[in-house]
Structure 1
Amino acid sequence: MTRHLLVPGRGAPRPEHWLSRWARANPDYRWASEPTGPPFVLADRVVALHAAVTTSGEATVLIAHSAGCITVAAWAARYGNAGTVHAALLIAPPYLDPRRRPGPDDPGDLRHDMIPRRPLPFRTVLVASRTDPYTSYEQFEQYAADWGSQLYDAGDAGHLETASGYGPWPAGERLVASLA
């Protein structure tokens, strides 16, 4: 059996968000860390992901949204594949502009230079939107190249969250099934 770990983004997903729906609908889907709102502390999220990955010997698929993708990349850079992760679905990682000055609600330890830029040690599919307000398609292409990910073009999908119309997300479910 394959275990699925959900890696939330910066905030807690709303109940109607596809991540929350999947957690409720699938008994083998677990949160890698309890989804909480800001502040997003990358070091804490990496430690929580490591604890979740190493608690079981089951084959694991990671499903990460937004800043959760950065958590997965940072975890892999720190721990390699210390566990049984055999694949990850990385949905809409945010681009962090190196010239941007963080605002008061922005995570203090999530900066451009904190994002690993080397291949991840397991199979990955990176889901990219043509209309994401946080990341251009070219920036998604660069993440995919850096991380050794297969790039999946989701088209006009915004940030693939509730505000963009994603409660149910059947295409995402098919992508997860392709990784198992």
Structure 2
Amino acid sequence: MTRYLVVPGRGIPLPGHWSRTWVREIPEFQWAPEPPGPPYVAAERVAALHAAVSADGEPVILVAHSAGCLTVAVWASQHTGPVDAALLVTPPYLDPDWTPGPDEIADVFIDHVPREPLPFRSILVASRNDPHATFEQFEAYARDWGSELFDAGVVGHLDSKTGFGGWPDGERLVRSLTKPVRPQQR
């Protein structure tokens, strides 16, 4: 049986967010970790994801939103496990040279975003008007990570603030990552 681990972003998703709905309504889906909220400390999130992936030998499909995509990229650069695939939804672009200005509060702590191909199949969902990345930055992540690019259109950050509660297209994308089971021969 395939496990689906939902990797949250930096913040705590609102009750109607598609990720909360999936964890609440689909038994195979579980948090990795339960959304802790800011600050986003990559090392802590990666350790929690590794514990969840390692907790069982069953195959895993990762479903990550926003900074959760960065967690997946860092995890994949440091660990191995029974991960078959990942759905990476609107990862924020982090400029490697960015440092917070005097009026900015840093609540994202990550050394670097790995840009190597992921060792499993992945689909990166891109938005045409995301406030945290341009479409070209999504394309660069997809190219670097070896991900298929899914153009979701004008969907903002694909979160509750932009009107996404349930997300049927996302469910179809996740199911497309599941390896088909061959019928048994008689």
TM-score (norm 1): 0.94
- On the 8 A contact 2:43/2:110 being kept in 1, the answer is no
Deviations 1:127-165 (A, max 9, x none): 000000110000000000000000000000100000111
Structure having the higher Rg: 2
**Percent of aligned pairs with the same amino acid:** 59
Partner deviation per Cα, 1:50-102 (whole Å, 9 max, x = no partner)? 000011111110000000000000000011xx221000000000001234332
Matches within 5 A, 1:98-177: 98-102=96-100, 103-107=104-108, 109-110=109-110, 114-177=112-175
Letter in 1 for 2:175: A
| Preserved contact between residue 69 and residue 93 of structure 1 (Cα < 8 Å) | yes
Deviation at 1:12, TM superposition (A): 1.2
How many Å separate the matches in 1 of 2:175 and 2:148? 15
Q: For this pair of structures, how many residues does the alignment match?
A: 175
CA RMSD, Structure 1 to Structure 2 (Å)? 1.0
User: Are 1:56 and 2:56 counterparts?
Assistant: yes
Partner Cα separation in structure 1 for residue 32 and residue 156 of structure 2: 25
Aligned-partner Cα distance in 2 for 1:18–1:110: 25
Task: List alignment gaps of at least 5 residues for structure 1.
Answer: none
Q: How many angstroms apart in 1 are the aligned matches of 2:26 and 2:122?
A: 21
Structure 1's consecutive aligned runs of 4 or more residues displaced over 4 angstroms after TM superposition are none
Q: How far apart in 1 are the matches of 2:39 and 2:129?
A: 26
TM-score, normalised to structure 2's length?
0.91
Q: Which runs of 5+ in 2 are unaligned?
A: 179-186
